Chain A
């Protein structure tokens, strides 16, 4: 019986692996994307299409198109995060971009 314990542990790990490392759901991605979009907007650096992508992701999710919704929300999240990075960087470094004559 004692010999089987490691095997049981391994079995549990294998079964729980997909649950532990599952990709975030479309709904989670939408929430994250919205949070990132708001962060970018607070900095005054929101990108043009982020809100549209989030709205499209929500619509796709309502229609039951989980995969498409996740793809759209993932792109919105990427944009939101990049915009936050851009805004944060620019607030601290904008003077480096003054062209010199």
Chain B
């Protein structure tokens, strides 16, 4: 009789215990372990580079390129985009409201993005929030890769400089989005069978034709960027599409689920660093 009641008790408690353990899964601990390993890869590869300096991309690891870049920074090519972005940001919508009605702190909120929206069960990026602000105020959405959205995003990044990256992964939904982004980052794709990690981890610091490949650590914190190749300012996801095309993969939808999750993962990996966008790059 005693044995039966014990086994019954066990059967009763098992699902409760399982449910409890699922609910209290420490996603932050799982993610922090990943961050630690990701960061260790780069700090061991480039021991002379300070953590925050990785925000400068390839210019943190290539002295010659850094000198040229610093010279360019005297009159940074993104400054016009920042000015135009400010004007666009301060312009009133047709209903009389402005972006400040959507974004607090006068728009200095770059550090709040991307984040996982629990209600919508999806990652929200800054560019997406800009377009959602427009839609909420009866304005047509802007094209995502470049142009006005990149300018507004540049201005918001500029006035958010120095703010820490603190992306939270605190729910199962957020962790799943994070894992999808992580999978995208490490999975090889395209005709060249290459991954983000293949180039920007394994081959970071090595040459690809005449260019040195940048380390992945800190990639999202300096975007949007004015690329000399583009001759204009562009968003991080525009760069994702270009990278995918370069390796012979069909670029995915800008601000689609895959790229948003990738941006989420990459930004989580930059936690503890500081936003320093916009930036100029070759």
Q: Which residues of A contact B (CB under 8 A)?
A: 41, 44-51, 79, 86-87, 90-91, 94-95, 97-101
Cβ of B105 within 8 Å of any chain A Cβ, yes or no, is no
Chain B residues closer than 8 Å to A87, beta-carbon distance: 189
Q: Are A97 and B197 in contact (CB under 8 A)?
A: yes
Cβ of B91 within 8 Å of any chain A Cβ, yes or no, is no
Cβ of B206 within 8 Å of any chain A Cβ, yes or no, is no
With beta carbons under 8 angstroms apart, the residue of A47, A90, A95 that contacts B250 is A47
Q: Are A101 and B250 in contact (CB under 8 A)?
A: no
Q: What residue of chain B has the Cβ atom nearest to residue A41's Cβ?
A: B250
Chain B residue total in the interface (Cβ 8 A) = 27
Q: Are A97 and B189 in contact (CB under 8 A)?
A: no
Q: Are B258 and A44 in contact (CB under 8 A)?
A: yes
Q: What residue of chain B has the Cβ atom nearest to residue A96's Cβ?
A: B186
Which 10 A-B pairs have CB atoms at the shortest separation, nearest pair first?
A: A90-B187, A101-B41, A46-B250, A94-B187, A48-B248, A94-B186, A99-B201, A101-B44, A97-B186, A94-B183
Q: Are B37 and A101 in contact (CB under 8 A)?
A: yes
Q: Are A47 and B190 in contact (CB under 8 A)?
A: yes
Q: Are A51 and B197 in contact (CB under 8 A)?
A: no
Distance, CA A95 to CA B197, complexed state (A)? 11
A94–chain B nearest beta-carbon distance, Å: 4
The digit string for B49-71, where 1 denotes a CB below 8 A from any CB of A, is 00000000000000000000000
Q: Are A95 and B193 in contact (CB under 8 A)?
A: no
Task: Pull 30 A–B residue pairs with CB atoms less than 8 Å apart, ordered by A.
Answer: A45-B189, A46-B249, A46-B250, A48-B190, A48-B191, A48-B244, A48-B245, A48-B248, A79-B191, A86-B189, A86-B193, A87-B189, A90-B187, A90-B188, A90-B189, A94-B183, A94-B186, A95-B186, A97-B186, A97-B188, A97-B195, A97-B198, A98-B186, A98-B197, A99-B197, A99-B201, A101-B37, A101-B40, A101-B41, A101-B45
